[in-house]
Chains A and B, each alone.
Chain A
């Protein structure tokens, strides 16, 4: 995965960048399966490797697929990134250990979720649609809004005189 990230940062042909990011998404999905997040892995494989690769390619077709040579030397961003990472790693030492069952994240509301109150074996679905239904409603509205925004940005007004509904 580190190799894929490195290649994404330093490849100048955008087509290979997009394909590499698809590869990266699949690797990420396998990591997520190893971390027991099967639902998330499924979504990541379908969205990250499938849909977003296609969208990036579709956008590339409308733009130039070669990146210009960077005009500045990347020393300032590099310095910012390295110092941020040092700070974050230092901060990470205060977090609970990996896989620690006594960590606060496992203590508050989660035992209730795992209690199977609504009799749905897949706890992720139960929490998504029942316990946290307001969250999911909000997310759905966000997706809807993004769709509406894209319609507003990319709709062609002249060519479709009989198609007036919606954005723009």
Chain B
């Protein structure tokens, strides 16, 4: 599919928009529909779209395997360490109110980091699954 001009041009237009929209969904999740799960899936879908057009090898150059595998684990660790930060600051596990001097602000901070963790893990797992299936079939460009 590499030589298809229409696909390449449309992809070039759409992929940045998809990734940007994923970030919007991530950080605007407090006020509108959205959050870590959706943002992670959308970012992964954007990268998978790129790889459908330009091939797996080109995608692996941009987002290499070790980055994806690190993302899979890092998201869970971010989430868990937000909980631990609550304990260290004198609260319960996953209690966000102590993360800042103002409980409401602390809640916002906690929700933000938890959503980041979710998005990173989901995006990493989706990409890893796709890489695994796509690289299985042998010589694909």
Contacts and interface: CB of A to CB of B under 8 A. Distances in A.
A13 interface: no
Contacts of A147: 72, 124-125, 128-129
B111 A129 contact: yes
A126 to B, nearest CB: 7
Contacts of A43: 37-38, 41
A50 to B, nearest CB: 5
Nearest to B111: A129
Interface stretch (A4-12, A51-59, A101-109): A51-59
Size category, B interface: 35 or more
B25 to A, nearest CB: 8
Contacts of B69: 151, 165-166
A164 to B, nearest CB: 12
Contacts of B34: 39, 42, 122, 125
Contact of B137 (A39, A42, A62, A122): A62
Contacts of A165: 69
B136 A129 contact: no
Contacts of A34: none
B133 A58 contact: yes
Interface string B82-115: 0100000000001010000000100110110011
A62 B111 contact: no
Contacts of A141: 76
Given A42-B38, A130-B111, A144-B75, A125 B126 contact: no
B76 A144 contact: yes
B114 to A, nearest CB: 5
A6 to B, nearest CB: 28
Given A118-B104, A136-B114, A147-B72, A46 B42 contact: yes
Contact of B29 (A125, A133, A140): A125
A163 interface: yes
B118 A125 contact: no
Interface string A123-158: 011101110011011001101101110110011100
A120 B118 contact: no
A156 B29 CA distance: 38
Nearest to A46: B41
A54 to B, nearest CB: 6
A55 B133 contact: yes
Nearest to B105: A119
A48 B94 CA distance: 30
A38 interface: yes
25 contacts: A43-B38, A46-B42, A51-B44, A51-B126, A54-B52, A55-B130, A121-B30, A121-B31, A122-B29, A122-B34, A124-B35, A128-B35, A129-B110, A129-B111, A129-B115, A134-B94, A136-B114, A137-B80, A140-B118, A141-B76, A147-B125, A150-B128, A151-B128, A165-B69, A166-B69
